[in-house]
Structure 1
């Protein structure tokens, strides 16, 4: 049975009522298609390389699959219509080494940017277009471990957020983010992190008090991937 977080959430416009659920693994295909379509059509990086839905789908499937393994990701429904997803992950210390490619707890952490990622893209697990996305996502993720304090226990990870254009500017994205914080708290996450590629997510991260640790520039966008990290247990307003 699916877990309902809020059966009757009213957005800022007050005209509709949305149902907020914990994403169930049985909805993998539905969530994948929604996530894939959203980022292909609205994601800065995705749009910049003109990747098609077909090219991106295998990568999206793997991203969603990993995120919904644990019950910490959220979906919003207007009746039977899926209108938003918030993909989250919770990582335990025994998973850090693999997740961050062994790069953990550096004394003076710095993002290392290669001069050329052509070889990485060519040897990636997907087609060349999807590999362009995959490589930049992996490059930022695997280096994030350098910035984690040695005392870090469970880590909450804001993986991705997707809100249908017709449901934006009603506070839905922020609401899903706050509900995610509650889930991270249940799973005893000391720190939370996330990467931003759009202004709205960037501003939301700042409002949470998250610290910008690094930025990986992309040729057409100022902030295609920025890591944010905050000590969740020290916050008193969540």
Structure 2
């Protein structure tokens, strides 16, 4: 990493910078988003929710600046699962067409709903996989600007996220990874694949929604790092 970069904890004051970065960089390079040819108008409301989730708590997320320009970020959030909470019924993804789910999605924009519904499906088994009484640290968005890649920023941001999760007393660090590069990084850092949905199984009216990703990724992976296992050195 170069020495002129500045790491900052994301706060509400950073919301504008984060939104602009997501639309200008993340939204144009993230593989499944790119396959949809999604525009800023398609993604605006969807990204607003990630921005709010990532900086409203003002302690979990990390930004990297070069002078006054945001060049990388790791947006994170925390959720507590309790024993009395309901469990989402398990679905047969391979035998399911998501057209109705997408049409009833939370956003006005169709392409935003396509991505949102896929991520929801990827995470729908989280309680069964992680347990009903645990504190979970979500690594929601990890993105590095094109001209700052291969400098170790993604690894450093992930390391900081893991340390924050440890400080917060979380049992798990989880992420829904849909790009080959991030999946490879998380595996190297000790994450395990708990669940995955091949893009070929995510259908809308019989058609594959995410086709021909530019990085060759063929499935989204729900990945997790068990903090207890990490602490035990296993």
TM class by shorter chain equals 0.7 to 0.9
Displacement of 1:96: 9.2
Cα distance between partner residues in 1 of 2:84 and 2:72: 29
1:140 aligns to what? 122
- Larger deviation: 43-52 or 137-146? 137-146
What TM-score results when the alignment is normalised by the length of structure 1?
0.83
Matches within 5 A, 1:201-220: 201-219=182-200, 220=211
Paired residues of 1:191 and 1:232 also in contact (CA < 8 A): yes
How far apart are the structure 1 equivalents of 2:134 and 2:229?
A: 14
Mapped to 2, the partners of 1:52 and 1:161 lie a distance apart of 20
Moved over 6 A (4+): none
Q: 1:235 to 1:164 in 2, by over 3 A?
A: same
Matched, 1:73 2:68: no
Is the contact between residue 96 and residue 102 of structure 1 (CA under 8 Å) also seen in structure 2? no
After the TM superposition, which residues 15-34 of structure 1 pair with which residues of structure 2 at under 5 Å, given as runs?
A: 16-34=3-21
Contact 1:196–1:223 (8 Å) recurs in 2: no
Alignment-derived partner of residue 5 in structure 1 = none
Which residues in structure 2 correspond to 1:1-238 (within 5 Å)? Answer: 11=1, 14=2, 16-70=3-57, 71-94=59-82, 97=85, 102-103=87-88, 112-113=92-93, 114-126=95-107, 127-150=109-132, 152-219=133-200, 220=211, 221=213, 222-236=217-231
Q: Deviations over 1:139-177 (max 9, x none)?
A: 212332221134x52111111111100000000010010
Contact 2:10/2:54, CA 8 A, preserved across alignment: no
Which segments of 5 or more consecutive residues in structure 2 lack a partner in the other structure? 201-210
Inter-partner Cα distance in structure 2 for 1:123 and 1:38: 28
Deviations 1:150-209 (A, max 9, x none): 4x5211111111110000000001001001111111110111111111122111211222
The CA RMSD over aligned residues, in Å, is 2.3
Return the offset for 1:102. 2.3
